[in-house]
Amino acid sequence: MEQSLPITIGFDGSPFAFAAVRKGLWLAGKLGAPVRIVRAWTISNAPRPATWQPGYVPPVEDFGAAVEEQTRRELAGVLAEFPDADVSIEVPHGAAGRELIAASAQSSLIVVGTRGLGGFAGLLLGSVSDQVVEHAQCDVLVARLVDADPAPERALKLDQAIG
């Protein structure tokens, strides 16, 4: 039997991303599909690796390891809700939209949240979600937070300064 392509879920740690993870894992369970959770990152949004110290910039691999460790820690509770799920976590270094679009070539479905951590207050669909909807090579599911403010205050310092 041919293995099915995974359902790929974009994750950035936002409440919207957690909604996407839960929706994607639920759907994968119904379809018997594997799940690939993708957390794209850049140096500017990666956690500081354990090897960081003043005057020393660790290699990019150390940042990648820190991103993966943080992602696994953040997702532990949600993944425990779906113990039978076949889940892999990938942390490619690059812009989120670009990395999710690239992942779509080997996916049956991409699941993203309506928003992420960045962007400007008032937008109902974030730029990454918009890019994925427009350019993905597979179907896209945009998961919503039904009982939440669709455009909450943004969490990033840049957004607070601009807003």
What are 17-72's pLDDT values in tens digits?
999 999 999 999 999 999 999 999 999 889 999 999 999 989 999 999 999 999 99
What is the longest distance spanned by two Cα atoms in the chain?
54
- CATH numbers and ranges of domains, the chain: 7-162 (3.40.50.620)
pTM of the model: 0.83
pLDDT value for 123: 47
Query: What is each CA distance from 75 to 2, 20, 135, in whole angstroms?
Result: 29, 12, 27
- Contact indicator for 49, 62 with CB cutoff of 8 Å: yes
The pLDDT score that the predictor gives to residue 127 is 76
- At 81-133, the pLDDT tens digits run 999 999 999 999 999 999 999 999 999 999 999 866 555 454 455 678 888 99
What digits encode the pLDDT tens for the residues 1-14? 345 899 999 999 98
Tokens (6 digits) for 156 = 């990033």
